[in-house]
A and B are shown apart, each in its own frame.
Chain A
Amino acid sequence: MMADLILTRGLKSEPSVRLSAYLERGGYQALRTALTQWTPEKVIDEVKTASLRGRGGAGFPAGLKWSFVPRTTDKPKYLCVNADEGEPGTFKDRFLMTHDPHLLIEGAVIAAYAVGIHAGYIYIRGEYEAVARRLDEAIAEAYAHGVLGKNILGRGFDFDLWVHRGAGAYICGEETAMLESLEGKRGVPRLKPPFPASVGLFGCPTVINNVETLACVPMIIRKGAAWFLENGRPKDGGTRLFSLSGAVQKPGVYELPAGTKLREIIFVHAGGLKPGAALKAVIPGGLSAPVLRADEIDVPMDVDALAAAGSMLGSSAVIVIDAATPMLSVLEKVAKFYEHESCGQCTPCRIGTSWIRRVVKRMIEHRGKAADLDLVLRLATNIKGRTLCPFGDAAALPILSIVRKFRTELEASLHSAGEKSFDA
């Protein structure tokens, strides 16, 4: 089945990012429909029926998340668009914002309408400076066109949207750390509960959605939940943007239905591996996802199937590792990244990631010991499930999977490294 394109359908023929091009592609029609014909409740129901799940990593149903926000409250409510996209291997949100910024804006306004929100922030990672500028331009166009600001489309609904650039911390992609950062504080996760839906930005009810999640919303309104579901899986509707990187012929962003087999993504869409390269391993959902061996890639890429396979869909970032890449070096990259990005707030993550990294560094530097792999496993186990935020699992799970699944190779490299060190 060749699915409809939901997110990138207009981009092949109409490369312009201007509002005029977006309007020609039918842009802001969904917003008009929602504001003129639909009640907010209907919007939420349709998104629920469409089984739109969060594209940021956790895969939480978006409609359900919206319905947690109290309808009536004496506080302002906020929408935060998570455009931090820090998960290594992930570059789909950048693609969307760069090539179709209005799609995100339209989705954001519809979400705001559904939940009764009048102010929103796009929290974009600091490195995306050019993208942030593009968003600012698009937002200015949207204000001028009457789809942002006061009395949107003459329907009496107000919504303001700002772009806020992050300062380079991975943890600020975690939603509560993002809220802290937006409030001008040090970006560290908050203890939950309370959840942002009740106590979020500035202590007010807040909806936080990933860029891609919101970008799906306009087409759900235009074409309906049933159509959206057809292009995905029953419990995981719509297409997904897969970021392909590593040893493939054609790295890039691919829009494919949720549930497409990982093997098909790598060998059909991304053109297979580079000449002469053999597949060794795949990280299917961004660096936080447990690694899959070459023999484990006949898995459908949806939230539940990957969870059943012991990994996760995460941010749908597929990192392809070929046989020439030593797993010890993959392990070191993973360990280094999480040590560097741990916010340091809670004990197991702060010290555990640093300890693991030092052990792995020693192994790389040919000073490894026989007990090191078991030590790494034990340390990662002492992080897993015991930290304040999901970062701990994000660090521990890939490390555990690499050591467990490639233990023979790692032991061999430890051994040979030992010999080298002896020779030197």
Chain B
Amino acid sequence: MPKVAIDGLCVDAAAGSTILNAAEQAGISIPHFCFHPAFSPEGSCRLCLVEVEGSPKLELACATVVREGMKVVTASAQVREARRGVLEFLLAEHPLDCPICDKAGECRLQDYYHAYGLTEGVFDETKERREKKVRIGEKLLLDRERCVLCTRCVRFLTDVTKTGELAVVQRGVRSEVATYDGERVRTPYAGNLVDLCPTGAITDTEFRFKTRPWFLERRESVCPLCGRGCNIFVDSHPGVPRVPGSANVYRIRPRFNADVNGHWICDYGRYEYLRALRPATRSRLMWRGESHGVEMSWDKATALVTAKLRAVLETKGPERVAVVLTSFLTNEEFYLIRRIFEISQGVRRVFFADPQPGTADAFLLTAERAPNRKGAELLGFEPRPVVLGKLEESTDFIFIFGTFLADLYSSQEVSRIFDKVQTKVLVATNPEALAFRADFVLPAVPTAGKDGSFVNADGRIQKFSAAVRPSGDARPEWAILLDLARALRPDEEFFGGFRGVPDIFERMTAEYPVFGALR
């Protein structure tokens, strides 16, 4: 552990760490464009130059490994002058179209120039004109005037995806990032280029001109679209009064987790989950019963569903009840289901309807396209796929979570079977696919809307909190289930004490200690 002094602060740096790492450890930030922790140092932006005692020239903070006793100064007049010089150069060739740039507000060039630049504007020459709208990928646009040539994008495709679609071509001031003739960035991880780009050079057509970054709230969550459980940020707009639709999720971005997804997420997660989080219609409680058109409330719905369920349980027995689950449920929800249906009521007919497995891509995306199959298994569920025919026989009440039945069976088949079942309760986030056959539709929030935990494909438990507000009537499944449990057995104290997901988790862990032992 070399001891180094950075701006007079003594730092016990890890062996082999760079000045930049050691400074960050000491809470001193050193500006940089080309350096990214996922790549080896490039040393080309020249913004991170710092003073090292005994060195005649300024040294690269990103590439210089600390030595015992090293003395570093990150804010001397010489360092500040060097930074100003680099930023002045970059701004001289920059289009300064910040008012219409998607990156404005979260742009490193803006932030650094404001913090370290602020030079007198003396550039009196004509700027190089470059292409401003080059389609380099399905959803990627490249603005070459905004590019600072940090080559993070190039290196991501060379070092991480190893697909190498981008390169720097031409030289000198005419250097530019380009694909090979007529080619496009085709890697299913292309969206990461937008996050990597320190300026507005690479923008995402899904986000472009839709909102301004400073309106967005950044919340942490976990992507539920495969067994990886990539850590994400869900960026949403809290909404402007009187502007319909302004409250919305605008983008999904990777959140660093060295053990799960590193700095990246796949495009499937990024764009498909975004779509899932932007429902076309507001979630509504629905009951297709005798009192059509009557205003529904959760209290009323819970009472009605409970009454129907109790009737079946008491008159016909638990063998006439079936439950169809999905691996999108959290551990806590699985636990409640296990308590309510299996332990408390003796319901044994539990099935799973999950998305069809896809192909694993040998990077992040797993073949499993649901987030919590492992969790279901740990709670003792056997995630056997639902067979519609088995529901047909002797079922009077069916509780369905999720709509993946519609992926497995045609609507005719579903209708045929469901016609024979007296009460169908659907709990789903986007219920349209099955809603037409359900008696009750209880709208649920997506993963991003609730607290909970998943166990990913590698057996890692990941807790998350609600990142977006519920839309319409939607509520988390755990809350729906708790209400149902309390209505079903008002005398039972077991469910009464749960105030939220942490309580359920604690109780679950006491019963299933494996959850406490997971990383």
CA distance A169 to B128 in the complex (A): 22
A interface residues with partner B (beta carbon < 8 Å): 169, 171, 186, 188, 191, 339-348, 350-355, 358-359, 362, 369, 371, 375, 381-382, 385-388
Q: How far is the CA of A388 from the CA of B45 in the complex (A)?
A: 9
Binary contact readout B67-101 vs A (1 if CB under 8 angstroms, 0 otherwise): 00000000000000010011011101100000000
Bound: A375/B88 CA distance, A: 12
In contact, B44 and A353 (Cβ under 8 angstroms): no
Q: Are A350 and B173 in contact (CB under 8 A)?
A: yes
Q: Which residues of A contact B171 (CB under 8 A)?
A: 169, 171, 341-344
Residues of chain A within 8 A (CB-CB) of B85 are 348, 381-382, 386
Checking A345, A348, A385 against B89 with a beta-carbon cut-off of 8 angstroms, the contacting residue is A348
5 contacts between A and B (CB under 8 A): A191-B60, A347-B44, A347-B47, A382-B88, A382-B89
Residues of chain B within 8 A (CB-CB) of A371 are 122
Assess whether B58 is interfacial by the CB under 8 Å rule.
yes
| Residue among A186, A340, A355, A385 facing the most chain B CB atoms (10 A cut-off) | A355
A347 in contact with B45 (CB, 8 Å): yes
Q: A186-B167, A382-B85, A385-B58 are in contact. Are A351 and B46 (CB under 8 A)?
A: no
Set of chain B residues within 8 Å of A381, measured between Cβ atoms: 85
- Contacting A at CB under 8 A, from B151-197, are 167-175
* A345 and B44 contact, CB distance less than 8 A: yes
B173 touching A387, Cβ below 8 Å: no
Q: Say if the beta carbon of B149 comes within 8 Å of chain A.
A: yes
How distant is the Cα of A10 from the Cα of B58 in the complex, in angstroms? 48
On chain B, the residues within 8 Å of A346 by CB distance are: 43-46
Contact, CB under 8 Å: A355 / B123: yes
Q: Let me know if A191 and B89 touch, CB within 8 A.
A: no
Whole-angstrom CA separation of A191 from B42 in the bound complex = 7
Question: What bracket does the count of chain B residues touching chain A fall in?
Answer: 35 or more
Residues of chain A within 8 A of B45, CB atoms compared:
346-347
Instruction: Tell me if B89 and A351 are in contact (CB < 8 A).
Output: yes
Contact (Cβ within 8 A) A339 B58? no
A344 touches B122 (CB 8 A): no
Q: Which residues of A contact B175 (CB under 8 A)?
A: 343-345, 350
Do B168 and A191 touch (CB < 8 A)?
A: no
User: Is B148 on the interface with A (CB-CB < 8 A)?
Assistant: yes
A362 to B124, CA, bound (A): 10
CB distance from B254 to the nearest CB of A (A): 27
Verify if B210 is at the interface (C-beta below 8 Å from A): no
B172 and A191 form a contact (CB under 8 A): no
A388–B46 CB distance below 8 A: yes
Partner of B44, one of A354, A385, A388: A388
Choose one: A347, A358, A385; the contact of B57 (CB below 8 Å): A385
Partner of A191, one of B41, B90, B92, B126: B41
- A354 — which chain B residues lie within 8 A by C-beta? 93, 128, 172-173
* Residue interface mask B45-64, A partner, CB < 8 A = 1: 11101000000011010010
Name the distance in Å between B392's Cβ and chain A's nearest Cβ.
65
| Assembled-state Cα–Cα distance A347/B33 (Å) | 11
Instruction: Find the A residue at minimum CB distance from B148.
Output: A347
Give the residues from 108 to 134 in chain B that come closer than 8 angstroms, CB to CB, to chain A: 122-126, 128
